Amino acid sequence: MTSHQLARTVEEVDTVVIRFAGDSGDGMQLVGDQFTSTSALMGDDVATLPDYPAEIRAPAGTIGGVSGFQVCFGTSDVFTPGDSLDFLVAMNPAALRANMPFLKSGSTVIVNEDAFIARNIEKAGYAADPLETGELNTFKLLRVPMVKATQEALGAGGLSAKQVDRCKNFFALGLSYWLFNRDIKQTQRWIIKKFSNKPDVLEANQRAFEAGLQYGKDGKLQNHTYATRAKATPRGAGVYRQVSGNTATAYGLLAAAKRANLPLFLGSYPITPATDIMQVLQQNKEFCNVLQAEDEIAGIGSAIGAAFGGALAATSTSGPGFSLKAEFINLAVMTELPLVIVDVQRAGPSTGLPTKTEQSDLLQALFGRHGESPLAVVAASSPRDCFDATIEAARIALKYMTPVVLLTDGYLGNGSEVWRVPELDELPVLKTHLVTNPEGFKPYSRDPETLARPWAAVGTPGLEHRIGGLEKEDGSGNISHNPANHQRMTDLRAAKIEKIAQDIAPTEVYGDADADLLVLGWGSTRGVIEQAIGHVRKRGHKVAGAHLRHMNPLPPDLKALMQKYKRVLLPEINSGQLAYHLRGKYLVDVVQFNKVEGQPFRADDIEAKIESLV
């Protein structure tokens, strides 16, 4: 623990949910990032929810321009970034107003009171100053003159008033560090590194950060501080870091290529919220080839070309781009080339809510192409699970010579949590169907175990052959218009995907296996469902939970598992896509629980639903 606190009392807490909110230009994401990495480094578990507008800098002071970063930190029960806020740091009236729905009775609201001037109050849509009207009476309101205090700390230096104002986020960060007894060293180092080429800004930020700390130490905020309790059970020995879902996905691709002993190729096009995957790989060009393509179609086209040449190939996108790639995905289905297609789902249809999350591309992933076009679909369940899910997608692609859709979403992609960094040799070795022997080579012969065809990469002597989108003759791969052959090939393509089920482990049931109610989930709802089940069980109800990684093929035991329970509750951040699919496939009913607000589920919503069913 740190040595700087002078507070009279330190209150021990298990878990805290705090949100930093301000204008898009106020540096709230930076504050949240620093607060989170420091907390993680102090041994806390963390789960984050960056919540930012689609506009880069919407008019300052307006609700539309509010950018927030929510983090849940602590030593137990950290499954999600949290339903409602224990603490809100609001840099202006709009940030306060936009986050009112997330406050609960007794929440602490720390406001930058300097921003509560008539113009800002009006811009936020308040009729009168909310700090004065009494509407915050149910909360613990702490008013801090952040701008004045920052100005005071910086003195009459060489910085403009605007530059000084831009340091106030570091003041807020410093104050928060004092309030929660965070270790300041990590952030001090970070500031030095980040601003090393701008000495005046470096010094200003250091002083603002120190001033925030000092403001707390001087007892100007309140008299007591908080500290998270030490963990009951340590995380286990190992190397840890904080990781976002998109970074974990990019690392998963790097790891998969390494473990398959293949070069990695990513063809991609910038699209929110998937762009980071491409950017992380671009930063690591010594390990992979990345093409920022001219459009979404070229992204996947280039990846298919790389796959033809023997690379582990991938393309990353979100909903609108996923639609554009559909024709090319079918080429990969027809030519049976390995390919990973990452869809970081966002709220649709059309441009929808680009920065908000949704699970609404499932049916598109399963069925959204012309013709009979089966492929494998896997879903990641948490930011760090994106790493493992990506490796699993690559494993299936290489073992079964098929395109695989990996579904993550904006919540996973941008959210982050603590990740134990595995050693490479802990990861599975990925086998390929690369061939070099010309004897008896047929491009569309089948491996009996997997029904995969051989992978004859361009450049392999003696295996020159032609592939394409026209229907193939079974075995030879020559063009064939034969009716019986088309039936056979259609069946073979479907049977090959079904074969993947042989690799799927029995579905793990957590909670009370003998309950009457099974809560089934898939993808990013894992944390919140598990948390809700935990809470309901603590209240004495029996509930079982199961979570799907493989969306196609589904686990072979799923139908029987669903039939074992009196009722199956299926929460999804869509209008019931998996429910629709399961009913059609198994003729087994489920109780749907759906929400499409562009936000992750709240645990208490799911708890209420569960309690209505037990």
Partner 1 sequence: MTIVPTANLGLKRQDFLSSIDPKWCAGCGCYSVLRWLTGTFPTMNLPREKFAVISGIGCSSRTPYYVGTYGFHTVHGRAMTVATGLKLSRPDLSVWVMTGDGDALSIGGNHFIHMIRRNPNIKVILFNNQIYGLTKGQASPTTSKGKKTKSTPYGSIDPPIRPLSMAIAAGATFAARVADTDGQLMADILQQAADHKGAAFVEVLLNCVIFNDGTFSHLTEKAVKADTTVTLKDKEPLIFGNGKDRIVTIDGFRPQVEAYVPGSPLPDNALVHDVAVEDSSLAFLLSNMEHPDLPVPVGVFRKVQQTAYDDHYAPKGGDLMRVFRGSEAWMEDAQGHISLLGAQVAAASAA
Cα 484-486-492 angle, rounded to 5 deg: 105
CB of 264 to partner 1, least distance (A): 8
**Which of the 8 DSSP states describes residue 479?**
B
CB of 299 to partner 1, least distance (A): 8
Measured in degrees and rounded to the nearest 5, phi and psi for residue 37 equal -65, -35
The smaller minimum CB distance to partner 1, of residues 88 and 250, is found at 250
Cα 232 to Cα 43: distance, rounded to the nearest angstrom? 11
The smaller minimum CB distance to partner 1, of residues 333 and 500, is found at 333
Cα 342 to Cα 172: distance, rounded to the nearest angstrom? 37
Cα 408 to Cα 348: distance, rounded to the nearest angstrom? 15
Cα 55 to Cα 589: distance, rounded to the nearest angstrom? 41
CB of 595 to partner 1, least distance (A): 34
What is the crossing angle of helices 168-179 and 185-194, to 10°?
160
CB of 551 to partner 1, least distance (A): 26
The smaller minimum CB distance to partner 1, of residues 422 and 556, is found at 422
Pairing assessment for the beta strands 66-74 and 85-90 based on DSSP bridges: unpaired
Which residue type sits at 530?
Answer: E
Q: Give Cβ neighbours of residue 608 (< 8 Å, ≥ 6 apart).
A: none
The smaller minimum CB distance to partner 1, of residues 24 and 39, is found at 39
In degrees to the nearest 10, what's the CA dihedral of 313, 319, 323, 326? 30
In the numeric block, which tokens belong to residue 393?
């997608």
CB of 330 to partner 1, least distance (A): 8
Cα 352 vs. chain centroid, distance in angstroms?
18
CB of 294 to partner 1, least distance (A): 4
The smaller minimum CB distance to partner 1, of residues 399 and 472, is found at 472
CB of 422 to partner 1, least distance (A): 8
Cα 254 to Cα 264: distance, rounded to the nearest angstrom? 7
CB of 455 to partner 1, least distance (A): 13
Cα 261 to Cα 255: distance, rounded to the nearest angstrom? 10
In the numeric block, which tokens belong to residue 62?
């307006």
The smaller minimum CB distance to partner 1, of residues 146 and 290, is found at 290
Q: How many other CB atoms are there within 10 angstroms of residue 305's CB atom?
A: 16
The smaller minimum CB distance to partner 1, of residues 154 and 311, is found at 311
The smaller minimum CB distance to partner 1, of residues 192 and 513, is found at 192
CB of 278 to partner 1, least distance (A): 14
The smaller minimum CB distance to partner 1, of residues 253 and 562, is found at 253
Which residue type sits at 129?
Answer: D
